[in-house]
Amino acid sequence: MEITRSNLTEKLEEIAEAIDQATFLAVDGEFTGLDKPDCSHSAPFDTAKERYFKLKEGSLEFLMIQFGVCAFKFKEDTQSYEARPFNFYVFPRPYTRQAPDKRFLCQSSSIDFLVQQGFDFNKLFREGIPFLMPTEEDVMRESLAGKHQAFSKFSSPAFVSPDGADMGPGKGPVQIPDEQKDFIAGVCNKISSFIETSESEVLQLAPCNGFQRKLIYQTIRTKFSAVHLETKTGEKKDRFIVVTKVASEDDLKKKEKDKQNAEIMELEEAVGFSKVMKLISKSGKLVIGHNMILDVMHMLNDFLCPLPADLEEFKSMVKCCLPRLIDTKFMASTHPLRDVIPNTALGNLQETLEKGPFTPAKVELMEGFSDYQNATDKYHEAGYDAYVTGCMFATMTNYIGNYKKPDPKPAVAPTEAVLKPFMNKLFLMRIADIPYLNLGGPDLEPNRDHVFHLSFPREWKSADINNLFAPYGSIHISWLNDSSAFVSLFKKDNAAVVLKTLAMTQSQYQLVPYNVYKSKAGVASSLMPPPVPEKASSFVPVSTPTPLLTGLKRSAADPAADDDDSDSNESASKKQRSANKDAAPLAAMEEDEIPELVPRSEGDSDKSSNGRGVTNTPQKMFAEPEVW
Amino acid sequence: MEITRSNLTEKLEEIAEAIDQATFLAVDGEFTGLDKPDCSHSAPFDTAKERYFKLKEGSLEFLMIQFGVCAFKFKEDTQSYEARPFNFYVFPRPYTRQAPDKRFLCQSSSIDFLVQQGFDFNKLFREGIPFLMPTEEDVMRESLAGKHQAFSKFSSPAFVSPDGADMGPGKGPVQIPDEQKDFIAGVCNKISSFIETSESEVLQLAPCNGFQRKLIYQTIRTKFSAVHLETKTGEKKDRFIVVTKVASEDDLKKKEKDKQNAEIMELEEAVGFSKVMKLISKSGKLVIGHNMILDVMHMLNDFLCPLPADLEEFKSMVKCCLPRLIDTKFMASTHPLRDVIPNTALGNLQETLEKGPFTPAKVELMEGFSDYQNATDKYHEAGYDAYVTGCMFATMTNYIGNYKKPDPKPAVAPTEAVLKPFMNKLFLMRIADIPYLNLGGPDLEPNRDHVFHLSFPREWKSADINNLFAPYGSIHISWLNDSSAFVSLFKKDNAAVVLKTLAMTQSQYQLVPYNVYKSKAGVASSLMPPPVPEKASSFVPVSTPTPLLTGLKRSAADPAADDDDSDSNESASKKQRSANKDAAPLAAMEEDEIPELVPRSEGDSDKSSNGRGVTNTPQKMFAEPEVW
């Protein structure tokens, strides 16, 4: 069901009911972009802390413009689910003159991708639901209440000194400057003749500025008792005062009351989408997402509370706002499901789960929610992705629940017991050996003795590094900039001998164990991108020449490079360089940075480079996650 | 005439011809936003240097998404103009995989405003013309040439060492890692059987990553001579190799040549809109705009060269890129036109120029450009605004040329002589006493002896300041933050006595002459917004609670504030405060900050707060511009 600002108020109750009755909720978001070029990029040897920092710095200035939530209700009798998908368009249109005028980032490739998928930006900007952070809402409510209360207290509000302070000057009305006196006198004459002679009930004054309006208010209130004043906004956004005749003091009060009610309604609409997010949070229901870490970060940051800098604080924040989360991408890429799921991208996963060994969970779309019945081309519409994610979750839950059971059940309810291994673990993309962010406790700190920090001459390319390590089997290179990289051994046992032979030799390169390098560098510095040359920094953010320079210098000389990543290591290097300056084409970046050895990024279009995926030959990389 | 990426190539010649034949060009741009909240805002007592700095820092991360240029050709015989308006949709969609993936800012109120005007964002994102900075273009051309050249030189490009260096390892092909050997072997078998047995001419390999493609390229080139390889991108943005049988070496070369030509075409399209901007720049024609400073800055910065930090450098840059500029808003707000033009906003100005004392210039839309014939509702479509601006310029030129002449001509050609007083002076909004940025020389440095810097207790409101200055006539308050402001005297002669009486007294406030304050503060610091409290800075840029807090605290206590600017001075103060933290509603900001004493901002919707204007009672403020 599509929800915009024109039907939110009407549908809010239905949404609340769906959430309230749900066994679990599946969610998905669409964004105006994924990452800022000037934030150092996700890398295979990030720690959990580093990755959180990079995502927070690099992703939160983009907007979540579409949000899907699908409420799934498990029915014991039929052993099936009832689904109610909602698709929200969300846009922070300044709803009132007081509402914040938000600035937000867009990423060309993301916008292009959404348009390709048929996303309707005109609808978004016209019909998108506004929202306010709770802090913003509280302030507005308080102030509105105060304003209304103050009016009822004083006959002539213009005389109220806002801070009610007794000290110093500033009481009473503003003195009318000489140059305004004629103007005000003119208005007074107009109004008095309107009261005495005019037939009509309403008089519209000419537009004027705020200061003049204040002068009019304070003057009229003292001179005329039989009129009510209200400021309105014209088509051209010009502001003017409307004068209405009133029969009595009561009539005046009534008119004022109506105005106040209208203002309260307006505020309710301005709070908008935040109400939905609060419903989800308050429900405490199990919330499902596919590769959901960015969704979770935006859900909290945009509508509930700005994210903290510290990862542990973030974890406690999630715990209180969204206490139970399951990431289907993590589920699918973890034993025992991993063994029967070759590719965890949403589309591929859906295909896989329709065939054996899986039995698709029975899911019925409830009446009035049939938009997605037999839909196939709706990928990347948030509501549809949420619906699909929920279905996949149900199917995988059935598989897990029946795993190695003698008497498999037709359906397995998503209980704590069954789902414990996956609870509150968010999938982390492209980290070699930390498959998930552990919201429920400390994160994995895998052994990285087989990883080395290598610095070398700028001329070096991946071939040079490969040759250097040739004797020790194949390696993965994770470029940091054009003269340094992390190198990890496929054959971990060779770590000692590598250290012995390569680390000792003084030569044009220098090799240091990962841990030594980290302890030297310190987290802080390792988070910061290398200093940018004066020249590069003189470019404005939206202009991004650097990636070309780097990305193409190579392919220029390398005709085999029919595209900018015919050697992923290589262009990864160059892209990494450029990423540290300005924007690198995200697509290439994503593809290039995928370690050959990490199977789980394969063909993955989930939140990665807007669907520009790759396929690797699957291979096991990271250590088995905690056993259960 | 509407120009998108689908018809640019076809129409480019016609555009070039129109520019080439033009007597002058009128231009206009539409933007995704106007100013960043965290940049200190335009203020009535900015210097020219400060204003340039603020605009550069605050505006250039937004995009110019629509550009209008209208070519006007003066015809001696008929004493009239022929007009050819072009309306371009511009969007930096990453056209090739190498093209930069730009990030850009949007401002909610600006987007909302454009949508209200009927701007089609879907068309923009689908059909917008891409562009490259000349630096980007050069690099891409060079690299492409290099790549093509290299191919023709070597039979097996995979063996070329990109940097052509002889030192160190890295020559020859990358050694195939063990874990890739099976994969490559499989591909080889597939291809050989394809060559021997298959009927078809073309074989499509399964998608694989860049590193694997490189391995395939280098292996196949050595093993098979009768095939041509090309990498293509699938619907899901996956990359795969297409193998084509070739009859001979020549056939192979021909296929490669076709591929290269396609790549060159692709690059030409990627350069896109920059070609138009280069045509305008190279033509050296007189370029007209209405309130055009932002247009000029974006025209240069987005398509020609990033803007320098220094104002004087900017002036020389403009001189070489757009040597002759005239701003119709400056024209209209300068003697003798100012005396007969009450309001210089585009729409109002157009109305004014249709009546006496003006005689509208005769302008005919050329065949094929009739979209704007009798159009009335097209305001804020860049092409239309450019067309209207040109017409107004022609009309005003006629008026100036005939000013006080005994024998007025039906039309006056826009010659240097007539236009000298307006040449290369860009209108500056809301600076009390510096009406324009002087591109042709040093900027005005008006006497500000009647301006004082006042610091006072936070509780103070404008009323308090007004009362303090009451004995010295009316004042204008330009708030800096909630405890300081610039105060200027309407009666300049009172400066000395104010200094004597107020500056000397030690009390809860402190008064310092403007010049003294500036010399103390130094330009640099006066440019920077005050330090932001920890708490506020913890909000992410897109979240903007502060303006509410401040903007509303006041109206809460001041029932007369039926909106957030019933006292312009007051809310200006609060808004200024919030502006220094995060975003203040631009509309309010614009309106509030307008000094009551400056006539020329009145009802002005040109590039100001997206059409949310105000009307002031006109009064003369700044010193007569240079006489002529």
**Per-residue pLDDT at B361:** 93
Give one DSSP letter per residue of A154-197, joined into a string.
-S-GGG--TT---SSS--SSPPPPHHHHHHHHHHHHHHHHHHHH
Q: How crowded is residue A460: how many other Cβ atoms within 10 Å of its Cβ?
A: 25
ipTM score assigned to the predicted complex: 0.79
Interface of B with A in 192-251 (CB under 8 A): 206-214, 217-218, 221, 229-231, 236-239
**Residue A320: which H helix or E strand, with range?**
helix A311-321
Q: Which of B84, B89, B34, B76 has its CA nearest to residue B59? A: B34
A401 to chain B nearest CA, in Å?
33
* Cβ–Cβ below 8 Å for B474 and A179: yes
**Residue B572: which H helix or E strand, with range?**
helix B568-581
Buried b (16+ CB within 10 A) or exposed e, B475-500: bbbbbbbbbbbbbbbbeeebbeebbe
* Cβ–Cβ below 8 Å for A461 and B552: no
Interface of B with A in 1-20 (CB under 8 A): none
Over residues B408-432, mean pLDDT = 88
Q: Which residue of B has its CA nearest to A310?
A: B538
How many DSSP H helices and E strands does chain A contain? 22, 17
**Per-residue pLDDT at A557:** 31
CB-side exposure of B3: number of CA atoms within 13 Å?
A: 28
Q: Which residue of A has its CA nearest to B591?
A: A209
Closest by Cβ to A568, choosing from B101, B163, B210: B210
* Cβ–Cβ below 8 Å for A237 and B93: no
* Cβ–Cβ below 8 Å for B615 and A238: yes
For CA atoms A103, A105, A111, A114, give the dihedral sign: negative
Find how far residue A420's CA is from the centre of its chain: 26
A169 to chain B nearest CA, in Å?
5
Measuring CA to CA, how many Å separate A445 from each of A46, A436, A526?
11, 11, 17
Question: Which positions ≥6 away from A396 have C-beta within 8 Å?
Answer: A328, A331, A332, A337, A353, A358
Asked if A26 has any chain B CB less than 8 Å from its own CB, the reply is: no
Q: What is the pTM of this model?
A: 0.79
A223 to chain B nearest CA, in Å?
15
Interface of B with A in 280-339 (CB under 8 A): 301-302, 306-309
Tokens for A524? 């802080």
* Cβ–Cβ below 8 Å for A587 and B100: no
* Cβ-Cβ contacts under 8 Å, B571 against chain A: 210
Asked if A111 has any chain B CB less than 8 Å from its own CB, the reply is: yes
pLDDT > 90? residue A146: no
Residues in chain A: 628
A547 to chain B nearest CA, in Å?
7
d(CA A54, CA A40): 7
Confidence class for position B146, pLDDT limits 50, 70, 90 = confident
Asked if A189 has any chain B CB less than 8 Å from its own CB, the reply is: no
Tell me which of A141-155, B312-326, B369-383 is least confident.
A141-155
* Cβ–Cβ below 8 Å for A566 and B167: no
With vertex at residue A609, the alpha carbon angle to CA A549 and CA A475, rounded to the nearest 5 degrees, is 70
Asked if B489 has any chain A CB less than 8 Å from its own CB, the reply is: no
Over residues B28-33, mean pLDDT = 97
DSSP B90: B
Q: Which of A6, A5, A30, A14 has its CA nearest to residue A86? A: A14
Q: Which residue of A has its CA nearest to B103?
A: A107
* Cβ-Cβ contacts under 8 Å, A538 against chain B: 306, 308-309
Q: Which residue of B has its CA nearest to A61?
A: B542
Mean pLDDT of chain A: 78
d(CA B542, CA B557): 28
d(CA A409, CA A373): 26
pLDDT > 80? residue B376: no
Tell me which of B296-305, B363-372, B585-594 is least confident.
B585-594
pLDDT > 60? residue A566: no
Confidence class for position B236, pLDDT limits 50, 70, 90 = low
Question: Which conformational region is residue A283 in: left (phi greater than 0), alpha (psi within -120 to 50 degrees), or beta?
Answer: alpha
**Residue A220: which H helix or E strand, with range?**
helix A210-223
**Per-residue pLDDT at B111:** 96
Confidence class for position A151, pLDDT limits 50, 70, 90 = low
* Cβ–Cβ below 8 Å for A217 and B562: yes
Q: With pLDDT > 70 as the criterion, what percentage of chain A qualifies?
A: 77
* Cβ-Cβ contacts under 8 Å, A587 against chain B: 94, 97, 101, 237
* Cβ-Cβ contacts under 8 Å, A609 against chain B: 237
